[in-house]
Amino acid sequence: MKWIDIKIILLLLVSFTLQTVAAQQRVTLITNATIHTGTGEVIENGTIAFNFGKIVDIGKGQTSLYKNAKVIDGTGKHIYPGIICMNNLMGLNEIDAVRATRDFDENGKLNPNVRSLIAYNTGSKILPTALFNGILYTQAVPQGGVISGSSSLLKTTGWNWEDAVIKGDEGIHLNWPEMHVGADLNETKSNRIEKQLLEIKSFFADAEQYHNALSVLTTYKASGFNSRLDAMRGLFTGSKNLYVHANYAKSIVSAVTFIKQQYPLIKLVLVGASDAYQLTDLIKQYNIPVVVSNVHRLPSRSFEDVDQPFKTPGILVKAGIKVAIGHAGSWEARNVMFNAGTAAAYGLTKEEALQCITLNPATIMGVNARIGSLALNKDASFVICEGDILDMMSSKISAAYLEGEPIDLYNDQQKLYEKYLKKFGLN
Protein backbone atom coordinates (compact mmCIF):
# COMPACT_ATOMS: atom_id res chain seq x y z
CA MET A 1 0.00 0.00 0.00
CA LYS A 2 1.08 3.50 -0.58
CA TRP A 3 0.17 6.69 1.06
CA ILE A 4 0.61 10.03 -0.50
CA ASP A 5 1.63 12.71 1.83
CA ILE A 6 0.97 16.06 0.32
CA LYS A 7 2.70 17.84 3.20
CA ILE A 8 6.20 16.61 2.73
CA ILE A 9 7.67 17.25 -0.60
CA LEU A 10 10.39 14.72 -0.24
CA LEU A 11 7.92 11.97 0.37
CA LEU A 12 5.72 13.19 -2.42
CA LEU A 13 8.59 12.94 -4.82
CA VAL A 14 9.48 9.50 -3.66
CA SER A 15 5.99 8.16 -3.86
CA PHE A 16 5.54 9.76 -7.21
CA THR A 17 8.64 8.00 -8.36
CA LEU A 18 7.58 4.74 -6.91
CA GLN A 19 4.11 4.80 -8.29
CA THR A 20 4.72 5.96 -11.77
CA VAL A 21 8.04 5.90 -13.56
CA ALA A 22 8.67 2.21 -14.10
CA ALA A 23 7.92 1.69 -10.50
CA GLN A 24 10.64 0.19 -8.39
CA GLN A 25 12.88 -0.45 -11.29
CA ARG A 26 15.20 2.05 -9.72
CA VAL A 27 17.35 1.39 -6.71
CA THR A 28 17.01 3.89 -3.87
CA LEU A 29 20.13 4.83 -1.96
CA ILE A 30 20.44 6.54 1.35
CA THR A 31 23.98 7.70 1.76
CA ASN A 32 26.37 9.01 4.38
CA ALA A 33 24.19 7.94 7.28
CA THR A 34 25.14 6.23 10.54
CA ILE A 35 23.54 2.83 10.12
CA HIS A 36 22.67 0.81 13.20
CA THR A 37 22.08 -2.61 11.71
CA GLY A 38 20.39 -4.14 14.75
CA THR A 39 23.04 -6.82 14.99
CA GLY A 40 25.27 -4.71 17.17
CA GLU A 41 27.14 -3.30 14.23
CA VAL A 42 27.31 0.43 13.46
CA ILE A 43 28.30 1.57 9.99
CA GLU A 44 29.52 5.15 9.98
CA ASN A 45 29.03 7.05 6.73
CA GLY A 46 27.14 4.08 5.48
CA THR A 47 24.86 3.58 2.54
CA ILE A 48 21.81 1.46 2.26
CA ALA A 49 20.44 0.46 -1.11
CA PHE A 50 17.04 -1.08 -1.67
CA ASN A 51 14.79 -2.14 -4.50
CA PHE A 52 11.56 -4.11 -4.79
CA GLY A 53 11.14 -3.70 -1.05
CA LYS A 54 14.37 -5.49 -0.20
CA ILE A 55 17.79 -4.31 0.82
CA VAL A 56 20.07 -4.94 -2.10
CA ASP A 57 23.21 -3.52 -0.59
CA ILE A 58 24.44 -2.10 2.67
CA GLY A 59 27.85 -0.87 3.71
CA LYS A 60 30.28 1.87 2.82
CA GLY A 61 30.89 3.66 -0.45
CA GLN A 62 29.00 1.62 -3.06
CA THR A 63 27.12 4.69 -4.28
CA SER A 64 28.70 4.71 -7.75
CA LEU A 65 27.55 1.19 -8.50
CA TYR A 66 23.97 2.32 -8.79
CA LYS A 67 23.93 4.71 -11.69
CA ASN A 68 20.24 5.34 -12.05
CA ALA A 69 19.67 5.25 -8.34
CA LYS A 70 17.52 7.65 -6.51
CA VAL A 71 19.90 9.09 -3.91
CA ILE A 72 18.85 10.52 -0.58
CA ASP A 73 21.51 12.22 1.50
CA GLY A 74 21.54 10.85 5.00
CA THR A 75 24.34 12.99 6.32
CA GLY A 76 24.08 13.47 10.07
CA LYS A 77 21.22 11.01 10.34
CA HIS A 78 20.90 7.64 11.95
CA ILE A 79 19.21 4.66 10.33
CA TYR A 80 17.67 1.96 12.47
CA PRO A 81 15.73 -1.18 11.64
CA GLY A 82 11.99 -0.68 12.16
CA ILE A 83 11.29 -1.14 15.84
CA ILE A 84 9.31 -4.17 16.97
CA CYS A 85 7.26 -3.80 20.12
CA MET A 86 6.40 -7.08 21.80
CA ASN A 87 3.67 -7.85 24.34
CA ASN A 88 1.35 -5.08 23.31
CA LEU A 89 -2.31 -4.11 22.96
CA MET A 90 -2.07 -1.60 20.14
CA GLY A 91 -4.86 -2.24 17.65
CA LEU A 92 -6.77 -4.27 20.26
CA ASN A 93 -7.45 -1.58 22.85
CA GLU A 94 -8.31 1.90 21.72
CA ILE A 95 -9.59 3.77 24.75
CA ASP A 96 -9.06 1.82 27.89
CA ALA A 97 -11.98 3.31 29.84
CA VAL A 98 -14.45 2.70 27.01
CA ARG A 99 -15.48 -0.93 27.10
CA ALA A 100 -16.69 -0.97 23.52
CA THR A 101 -13.15 -0.24 22.35
CA ARG A 102 -11.54 -3.09 24.24
CA ASP A 103 -10.88 -6.30 22.30
CA PHE A 104 -8.24 -8.27 24.11
CA ASP A 105 -9.80 -10.26 26.95
CA GLU A 106 -12.21 -13.05 26.04
CA ASN A 107 -14.53 -14.72 28.49
CA GLY A 108 -13.30 -18.00 29.97
CA LYS A 109 -10.01 -19.42 31.15
CA LEU A 110 -8.60 -21.54 28.33
CA ASN A 111 -8.78 -19.62 25.08
CA PRO A 112 -5.82 -20.60 22.89
CA ASN A 113 -8.17 -20.51 19.92
CA VAL A 114 -9.01 -16.81 20.12
CA ARG A 115 -6.87 -14.82 17.72
CA SER A 116 -5.76 -11.24 18.15
CA LEU A 117 -5.09 -11.19 14.41
CA ILE A 118 -8.70 -10.76 13.38
CA ALA A 119 -9.42 -8.06 16.01
CA TYR A 120 -6.42 -5.99 15.00
CA ASN A 121 -7.75 -2.62 13.91
CA THR A 122 -5.43 -0.90 11.45
CA GLY A 123 -7.70 2.12 11.70
CA SER A 124 -6.67 2.66 15.31
CA LYS A 125 -5.63 6.22 16.10
CA ILE A 126 -2.97 4.89 18.41
CA LEU A 127 -1.01 3.05 15.73
CA PRO A 128 0.04 6.21 13.84
CA THR A 129 1.51 7.65 17.06
CA ALA A 130 3.67 4.54 17.46
CA LEU A 131 4.67 4.67 13.83
CA PHE A 132 5.64 8.28 14.34
CA ASN A 133 8.25 7.13 16.87
CA GLY A 134 9.67 4.45 14.61
CA ILE A 135 7.69 1.41 15.71
CA LEU A 136 6.91 -0.47 12.50
CA TYR A 137 5.78 -3.74 14.04
CA THR A 138 3.76 -4.80 17.02
CA GLN A 139 3.02 -8.12 18.61
CA ALA A 140 -0.70 -7.96 19.36
CA VAL A 141 -1.18 -10.02 22.52
CA PRO A 142 -4.51 -10.99 24.06
CA GLN A 143 -4.81 -10.89 27.85
CA GLY A 144 -6.84 -12.49 30.58
CA GLY A 145 -7.72 -15.98 31.74
CA VAL A 146 -5.14 -18.73 32.03
CA ILE A 147 -4.52 -19.09 28.32
CA SER A 148 -5.38 -15.73 26.82
CA GLY A 149 -5.20 -16.59 23.14
CA SER A 150 -2.94 -16.41 20.14
CA SER A 151 -0.82 -13.43 19.27
CA SER A 152 0.29 -12.20 15.87
CA LEU A 153 3.05 -9.99 14.62
CA LEU A 154 1.71 -7.12 12.53
CA LYS A 155 2.81 -3.95 10.89
CA THR A 156 1.65 -0.77 12.57
CA THR A 157 0.26 0.43 9.28
CA GLY A 158 -1.87 -1.33 6.70
CA TRP A 159 -5.19 -1.28 4.93
CA ASN A 160 -6.48 -4.12 7.06
CA TRP A 161 -5.11 -6.94 9.15
CA GLU A 162 -4.66 -9.24 6.19
CA ASP A 163 -2.46 -6.59 4.70
CA ALA A 164 -0.65 -5.81 7.94
CA VAL A 165 0.20 -9.28 9.12
CA ILE A 166 3.82 -10.39 9.22
CA LYS A 167 3.20 -13.63 11.05
CA GLY A 168 -0.26 -14.72 12.12
CA ASP A 169 -0.97 -16.79 15.20
CA GLU A 170 2.71 -16.96 16.02
CA GLY A 171 2.30 -17.83 19.66
CA ILE A 172 0.03 -18.80 22.52
CA HIS A 173 -0.03 -16.85 25.77
CA LEU A 174 -0.22 -18.63 29.07
CA ASN A 175 -0.46 -16.79 32.41
CA TRP A 176 1.33 -18.96 34.92
CA PRO A 177 -0.29 -18.84 38.37
CA GLU A 178 1.49 -16.75 40.93
CA MET A 179 3.25 -19.49 42.87
CA HIS A 180 3.43 -17.54 46.03
CA VAL A 181 1.64 -19.80 48.45
CA GLY A 182 1.68 -17.36 51.29
CA ALA A 183 -0.19 -14.80 49.23
CA ASP A 184 -3.05 -15.06 51.56
CA LEU A 185 -2.42 -16.39 54.95
CA ASN A 186 -4.83 -19.26 54.95
CA GLU A 187 -4.05 -22.60 53.46
CA THR A 188 -6.64 -22.51 50.72
CA LYS A 189 -4.39 -20.47 48.48
CA SER A 190 -1.92 -23.27 47.95
CA ASN A 191 -4.80 -25.60 47.14
CA ARG A 192 -6.05 -23.09 44.65
CA ILE A 193 -2.67 -22.81 42.98
CA GLU A 194 -2.38 -26.57 42.99
CA LYS A 195 -5.71 -26.78 41.19
CA GLN A 196 -4.71 -24.19 38.64
CA LEU A 197 -1.49 -26.03 37.92
CA LEU A 198 -3.33 -29.32 37.50
CA GLU A 199 -5.71 -27.63 35.12
CA ILE A 200 -2.84 -26.33 33.02
CA LYS A 201 -1.01 -29.63 33.07
CA SER A 202 -4.02 -31.67 32.09
CA PHE A 203 -4.84 -29.23 29.31
CA PHE A 204 -1.35 -29.68 27.89
CA ALA A 205 -1.63 -33.44 28.23
CA ASP A 206 -4.99 -33.43 26.44
CA ALA A 207 -3.64 -31.13 23.76
CA GLU A 208 -0.67 -33.37 23.14
CA GLN A 209 -2.84 -36.46 23.00
CA TYR A 210 -5.17 -34.70 20.57
CA HIS A 211 -2.27 -33.64 18.44
CA ASN A 212 -0.74 -37.10 18.35
CA ALA A 213 -4.04 -38.70 17.48
CA LEU A 214 -4.62 -36.30 14.61
CA SER A 215 -1.06 -36.70 13.37
CA VAL A 216 -1.48 -40.41 12.70
CA LEU A 217 -4.98 -40.19 11.31
CA THR A 218 -5.19 -40.02 7.60
CA THR A 219 -8.78 -38.99 7.54
CA TYR A 220 -10.06 -36.44 9.91
CA LYS A 221 -12.95 -37.25 12.15
CA ALA A 222 -15.18 -34.23 12.21
CA SER A 223 -16.93 -35.25 15.40
CA GLY A 224 -13.75 -35.10 17.43
CA PHE A 225 -12.87 -31.54 16.62
CA ASN A 226 -11.98 -29.37 19.60
CA SER A 227 -11.09 -25.81 18.65
CA ARG A 228 -9.23 -25.13 21.91
CA LEU A 229 -7.05 -28.23 21.65
CA ASP A 230 -6.64 -27.74 17.95
CA ALA A 231 -5.21 -24.27 18.48
CA MET A 232 -2.54 -25.81 20.71
CA ARG A 233 -1.20 -28.10 17.98
CA GLY A 234 1.22 -25.53 16.69
CA LEU A 235 3.08 -25.70 19.98
CA PHE A 236 3.90 -29.36 19.40
CA THR A 237 4.88 -28.91 15.78
CA GLY A 238 7.07 -25.95 16.66
CA SER A 239 5.15 -23.52 14.47
CA LYS A 240 4.04 -21.47 17.48
CA ASN A 241 5.85 -20.09 20.46
CA LEU A 242 4.57 -20.63 23.95
CA TYR A 243 4.71 -17.31 25.78
CA VAL A 244 4.52 -17.81 29.50
CA HIS A 245 3.73 -14.69 31.47
CA ALA A 246 5.31 -15.12 34.89
CA ASN A 247 6.92 -12.60 37.16
CA TYR A 248 7.84 -14.16 40.48
CA ALA A 249 10.73 -16.53 40.94
CA LYS A 250 8.68 -19.57 41.88
CA SER A 251 6.31 -19.12 38.97
CA ILE A 252 9.26 -18.94 36.61
CA VAL A 253 10.84 -22.07 38.04
CA SER A 254 7.57 -23.93 37.98
CA ALA A 255 6.74 -22.94 34.41
CA VAL A 256 10.20 -23.60 33.02
CA THR A 257 10.67 -26.97 34.69
CA PHE A 258 7.20 -28.17 33.70
CA ILE A 259 7.39 -27.14 30.07
CA LYS A 260 11.01 -27.99 29.46
CA GLN A 261 10.87 -31.36 31.19
CA GLN A 262 7.48 -32.50 29.89
CA TYR A 263 7.57 -30.88 26.46
CA PRO A 264 11.21 -30.18 25.61
CA LEU A 265 10.32 -29.38 22.00
CA ILE A 266 7.95 -26.54 22.81
CA LYS A 267 9.49 -23.19 22.05
CA LEU A 268 9.12 -21.42 25.36
CA VAL A 269 9.44 -17.67 25.83
CA LEU A 270 9.13 -15.92 29.21
CA VAL A 271 7.25 -12.63 29.32
CA GLY A 272 7.40 -10.08 32.14
CA ALA A 273 9.74 -12.18 34.22
CA SER A 274 10.60 -9.46 36.70
CA ASP A 275 12.45 -11.98 38.87
CA ALA A 276 14.36 -13.47 35.94
CA TYR A 277 17.50 -11.75 37.18
CA GLN A 278 17.50 -14.21 40.09
CA LEU A 279 17.26 -17.23 37.81
CA THR A 280 19.72 -16.59 34.99
CA ASP A 281 21.28 -20.06 35.37
CA LEU A 282 18.00 -21.85 34.88
CA ILE A 283 16.91 -19.66 32.00
CA LYS A 284 20.26 -19.96 30.29
CA GLN A 285 20.35 -23.71 30.81
CA TYR A 286 17.27 -24.10 28.63
CA ASN A 287 18.11 -21.15 26.37
CA ILE A 288 14.78 -19.48 26.97
CA PRO A 289 14.32 -16.01 25.52
CA VAL A 290 12.87 -13.38 27.85
CA VAL A 291 10.58 -10.51 26.92
CA VAL A 292 11.16 -7.90 29.62
CA SER A 293 8.05 -5.82 29.98
CA ASN A 294 8.36 -3.10 31.19
CA VAL A 295 11.76 -1.73 32.05
CA HIS A 296 10.05 1.39 33.35
CA ARG A 297 8.41 -0.05 36.44
CA LEU A 298 8.94 0.01 40.19
CA PRO A 299 10.96 -2.67 41.94
CA SER A 300 8.79 -5.61 43.01
CA ARG A 301 9.81 -5.35 46.64
CA SER A 302 10.77 -2.56 48.98
CA PHE A 303 14.22 -3.98 49.65
CA GLU A 304 15.12 -4.53 46.01
CA ASP A 305 17.71 -2.29 44.48
CA VAL A 306 15.89 0.88 43.47
CA ASP A 307 17.20 0.49 39.92
CA GLN A 308 16.58 -3.26 39.66
CA PRO A 309 14.03 -3.04 36.83
CA PHE A 310 16.38 -0.78 34.89
CA LYS A 311 19.33 -3.13 35.13
CA THR A 312 17.53 -6.45 34.69
CA PRO A 313 17.95 -6.51 30.86
CA GLY A 314 21.68 -5.91 31.29
CA ILE A 315 21.98 -8.77 33.78
CA LEU A 316 20.11 -11.16 31.50
CA VAL A 317 22.11 -10.23 28.39
CA LYS A 318 25.40 -10.63 30.26
CA ALA A 319 24.24 -14.10 31.29
CA GLY A 320 23.87 -14.96 27.61
CA ILE A 321 20.08 -14.87 27.51
CA LYS A 322 18.24 -13.57 24.47
CA VAL A 323 16.28 -10.55 25.61
CA ALA A 324 13.53 -8.54 23.98
CA ILE A 325 12.19 -5.39 25.58
CA GLY A 326 8.44 -5.15 25.18
CA HIS A 327 5.85 -2.73 26.40
CA ALA A 328 2.51 -3.52 27.95
CA GLY A 329 -0.52 -1.34 27.32
CA SER A 330 -1.40 0.34 24.06
CA TRP A 331 -0.76 4.09 23.74
CA GLU A 332 2.18 3.81 26.14
CA ALA A 333 4.02 1.52 23.74
CA ARG A 334 5.35 4.45 21.77
CA ASN A 335 7.90 4.73 24.58
CA VAL A 336 9.36 1.24 24.13
CA MET A 337 12.59 2.66 22.71
CA PHE A 338 13.07 4.73 25.84
CA ASN A 339 12.68 1.61 27.95
CA ALA A 340 15.55 0.25 25.90
CA GLY A 341 17.39 3.54 26.43
CA THR A 342 17.10 3.22 30.20
CA ALA A 343 18.38 -0.36 29.97
CA ALA A 344 21.35 1.10 28.08
CA ALA A 345 21.96 3.55 30.92
CA TYR A 346 22.01 0.64 33.36
CA GLY A 347 24.19 -2.03 31.85
CA LEU A 348 23.51 -2.66 28.17
CA THR A 349 25.45 -1.05 25.36
CA LYS A 350 23.30 1.13 23.12
CA GLU A 351 23.54 -1.39 20.29
CA GLU A 352 22.58 -4.25 22.60
CA ALA A 353 19.60 -2.21 23.78
CA LEU A 354 18.62 -1.57 20.17
CA GLN A 355 18.87 -5.29 19.47
CA CYS A 356 16.30 -5.88 22.22
CA ILE A 357 13.69 -3.98 20.21
CA THR A 358 14.73 -5.09 16.72
CA LEU A 359 16.64 -8.26 15.94
CA ASN A 360 15.89 -10.15 19.15
CA PRO A 361 12.10 -9.82 18.87
CA ALA A 362 12.35 -10.85 15.23
CA THR A 363 14.45 -13.87 16.12
CA ILE A 364 12.15 -14.88 18.97
CA MET A 365 9.15 -14.71 16.65
CA GLY A 366 11.01 -16.51 13.85
CA VAL A 367 10.94 -13.69 11.32
CA ASN A 368 14.57 -12.63 11.51
CA ALA A 369 15.19 -13.78 7.96
CA ARG A 370 12.95 -10.96 6.90
CA ILE A 371 12.95 -8.16 9.48
CA GLY A 372 14.70 -7.04 12.66
CA SER A 373 18.05 -6.08 11.20
CA LEU A 374 19.42 -4.26 8.19
CA ALA A 375 21.13 -6.79 5.95
CA LEU A 376 21.17 -7.98 2.40
CA ASN A 377 17.86 -9.37 1.09
CA LYS A 378 15.94 -8.36 4.18
CA ASP A 379 12.94 -6.10 4.04
CA ALA A 380 13.82 -2.49 3.47
CA SER A 381 11.97 -1.52 6.63
CA PHE A 382 13.81 1.10 8.57
CA VAL A 383 13.58 4.51 10.13
CA ILE A 384 15.70 7.60 9.72
CA CYS A 385 16.31 9.45 12.94
CA GLU A 386 17.78 12.88 13.61
CA GLY A 387 19.78 11.49 16.52
CA ASP A 388 19.86 8.67 18.99
CA ILE A 389 16.54 6.86 18.76
CA LEU A 390 16.85 5.59 22.35
CA ASP A 391 17.17 9.06 23.84
CA MET A 392 14.15 11.35 23.85
CA MET A 393 16.38 14.39 23.55
CA SER A 394 17.21 13.47 19.98
CA SER A 395 14.79 10.72 19.07
CA LYS A 396 13.07 12.48 16.18
CA ILE A 397 12.08 10.28 13.28
CA SER A 398 12.30 12.17 10.01
CA ALA A 399 11.30 9.33 7.70
CA ALA A 400 10.36 5.72 7.74
CA TYR A 401 10.36 3.04 5.06
CA LEU A 402 8.32 -0.10 5.16
CA GLU A 403 9.26 -2.75 2.62
CA GLY A 404 10.97 -0.11 0.58
CA GLU A 405 8.16 2.37 0.61
CA PRO A 406 8.13 5.65 2.46
CA ILE A 407 5.57 5.88 5.20
CA ASP A 408 3.46 8.88 5.99
CA LEU A 409 4.31 9.79 9.58
CA TYR A 410 1.85 12.63 9.80
CA ASN A 411 -1.00 11.93 12.21
CA ASP A 412 -3.88 13.54 14.05
CA GLN A 413 -1.65 14.74 16.84
CA GLN A 414 0.51 16.80 14.48
CA LYS A 415 -2.64 18.02 12.80
CA LEU A 416 -3.99 19.38 16.06
CA TYR A 417 -0.58 20.80 16.92
CA GLU A 418 -0.35 22.68 13.67
CA LYS A 419 -3.95 23.80 13.87
CA TYR A 420 -3.42 25.45 17.23
CA LEU A 421 0.02 26.80 16.42
CA LYS A 422 -1.75 28.53 13.59
CA LYS A 423 -4.63 29.71 15.75
CA PHE A 424 -2.24 31.34 18.16
CA GLY A 425 0.11 32.58 15.47
CA LEU A 426 2.97 30.55 16.88
CA ASN A 427 4.35 29.03 13.68
Partner 1 sequence: MKYISVRILCVVFFSLILRGVLAQETFPVNGPHDLRGTCYAFINATIQIDPQTRLNNAVMVIKEGKIENIGTSVNIPKDAKIIDLKGRFIYASFIDMYSNYGIQWQNNNKGKDQYANNKPGAYAWNDAIRAEINAADLFQFDEKQSTFYLESGFGSTLSALHDGICRGTGALVSTGKLNEQQVILNPAAAAEFSFNKGSSMQDYPGSAMGCVALIRQTYYDAIWYNTQQSEQNLTFNAFNKLRHLPAIFEAENKLAVLRAAKIGTEFNTTYIIKGAGDEYQRIDEIKATKCPLIIPLNFPKPYEVEDPFEAQYVSLTDLKHWEMAPANPFLLSKAGVVFTLTAFGCKDANEFLKNLRKSVQYGLSESQALQALTVTPAHLMNIDKHSGVLHKGMLANFFISNKNIFDKEAIIQEHWTLGRQQIFYAANEKILSGKYKLSLKGFDGGVLLISGQLPKPEASLIEKDTIKVSVQEQLGLFTLSFKEKKNSDALIRVDAWVSDYDTKTLQVKIITGKAQLPDGSYQPFTAVWFDSVTTKVKTDTVMQVSYGEIIYPFNDYGSKEIPVAESILFKNATVWTNETPHVLIETDVLVNKGKIVNIGKSLPAKDAKVIDATGKYLTNGIIDEHSHIGIYRGVNECTQAITAEVRIGDVVNSEDINIYRQLSGGVIACQQLHGSCNPVGGQSSIIKLRWGMPPEAMKIANADGFIKFALGENVKQSNWGMETDRYPQTRMGVEQVYYDAFIRAKEYELKLKADPKLTRKDLELETLVEILNKKRFITCHSYVQSEILMLMQVADSMGFKVNTFTHILEGYKVADKMKAHGVSASTFADWWAYKYEVVDAIPYNGVILDKMGVTTAINSDDAEMGRRLNQEAAKMIKYGNMSEENAWKMVTLNPAKMLHLDKQTGSIKTGKDADLVLWSTNPLSIYAIAEMTLVDGVCYYSKERDAVLRKYIERERQRIITKMMVAKQNGEKTEKKISLTEENYHCDDE
Residues at the site binding partner 1, with contacts judged by CB under 8 A = 94-98, 125-126, 129, 180-185, 248-250, 296-299, 301-303, 305-307, 330-331, 334-335, 338, 341-342, 344-346, 390-396, 413-414, 416-417, 420-421, 424, 426
Which residue, 89 or 324, is less far from partner 1 as judged by CB?
89
Shortest distance, position 249 Cβ to partner 1, whole Å:
5
Q: Which residues contact 388 (CB under 8 A, 6 or more apart)?
A: 78, 341, 350, 394, 395
State the Cα–Cα distance between residues 150 and 102, nearest whole angstrom: 16
Shortest distance, position 66 Cβ to partner 1, whole Å:
34
Which residue, 73 or 307, is less far from partner 1 as judged by CB?
307
Which residue, 131 or 367, is less far from partner 1 as judged by CB?
131
State the Cα–Cα distance between residues 402 and 400, nearest whole angstrom: 7
Which residue, 94 or 379, is less far from partner 1 as judged by CB?
94
Shortest distance, position 14 Cβ to partner 1, whole Å:
24
Which residue, 269 or 353, is less far from partner 1 as judged by CB?
353
Cα–chain center distance at 382: 15
Shortest distance, position 22 Cβ to partner 1, whole Å:
38
Rounded-to-10 torsion of CA 265, 266, 272, 273: -30
Which residue, 66 or 176, is less far from partner 1 as judged by CB?
176
As to burial, measured by CB atoms within 10 angstroms (0-12 exposed, 13-18 middle, 19+ buried), residue 263 is middle
Shortest distance, position 98 Cβ to partner 1, whole Å:
6
Strands 147-155 and 323-325: unpaired
Which residue, 171 or 326, is less far from partner 1 as judged by CB?
326
Which residue, 132 or 204, is less far from partner 1 as judged by CB?
132
Shortest distance, position 390 Cβ to partner 1, whole Å:
6
Shortest distance, position 398 Cβ to partner 1, whole Å:
12
Shortest distance, position 392 Cβ to partner 1, whole Å:
4
Which residue, 46 or 309, is less far from partner 1 as judged by CB?
309
Which residue, 131 or 344, is less far from partner 1 as judged by CB?
344
Shortest distance, position 141 Cβ to partner 1, whole Å:
18
Shortest distance, position 353 Cβ to partner 1, whole Å:
10
